[in-house]
Amino acid sequence: MNATEAAKPDLRRHLALALDVDDTVAAGRLARELRPWFGVAKVGLELFSAAGPAAVAMLVEDGYQVFLDLKMADIPNTVGRAARVLGSLGVSYLTFHAFAGPAVLRAGVEGLREGAERAGLGSPAALAVTILTSDADAPAHILAKRVATAVEAGCAGVVCAASDVSEAKLIAPRLLAVVPGLRPLGSPSHDQARSATPAAALAAGADLLVIGRAVTAAEDRRAAAEAIFSSLVPHFSSEDGARTSPAR
């Protein structure tokens, strides 16, 4: 068994496949094709708007942990009640916007936990989105403020650019760092103003890497996934493998 094959079971838990499509048939096809390299599937606004909870159920049934990326931000009561519903679906991760403040995030954390408990599931991870990777103009002090908000609210982790991981970990070492906007060398950055390579993000201390168009839009998706996976093996220690896996 080579090093890549040996690392596969653990490293897959650190890789989230972004299923940014508008129907469950396309999402299911991508998820099944790329299952050998990804243990987490990201459902964003597009897919959830098209298919709703059915998309989550399909992916859980296929053996994925589901990262539901809705970036929730509303009054605490609304966020808490919605998070309670989503927690009962079996999601492993759910995002909230940190700019909404600690009261909103805390309501989301509590609602998410309550929903999972009522359904007999383990505790999902509430993630606070700090600064979007498409935002190149955010003031320098914003990251620290939003990470502190996540800590105050009891979030399990933050979503941030690869370049922000070190600072986030200095402020809150125990928080998971989830990094989107990743592109292999030579790939177009698209709408990501602060992109990085997957290897650079993992080396910086990221716990979960979110990878989408670099694989899903590739001419040979399986080859693209294998190339990214192989590039990460030298930066990965299986001793850290349990950090990104919420109880289920």
Active site members: 71
How far is 85 from 81, CA to CA, in rounded Å?
A: 7
How far is 105 from 108, CA to CA, in rounded Å?
A: 5
- Nearest residue to 15 (alpha-carbon basis) of 216, 183, 229, 220: 229
Which residues lie closer than 8 Å to 215 by C-beta, 6 or more apart? 17, 34, 221, 224, 225, 228
Strand partners for 96: 72, 128
Q: What sign has the CA pseudo-torsion 168, 173, 175, 181?
A: positive
How far is 12 from 159, CA to CA, in rounded Å?
A: 19
- Confirm if 218 and 179 have CB atoms less than 8 A apart: no
Which 3 state secondary structure label does DSSP give 169? helix
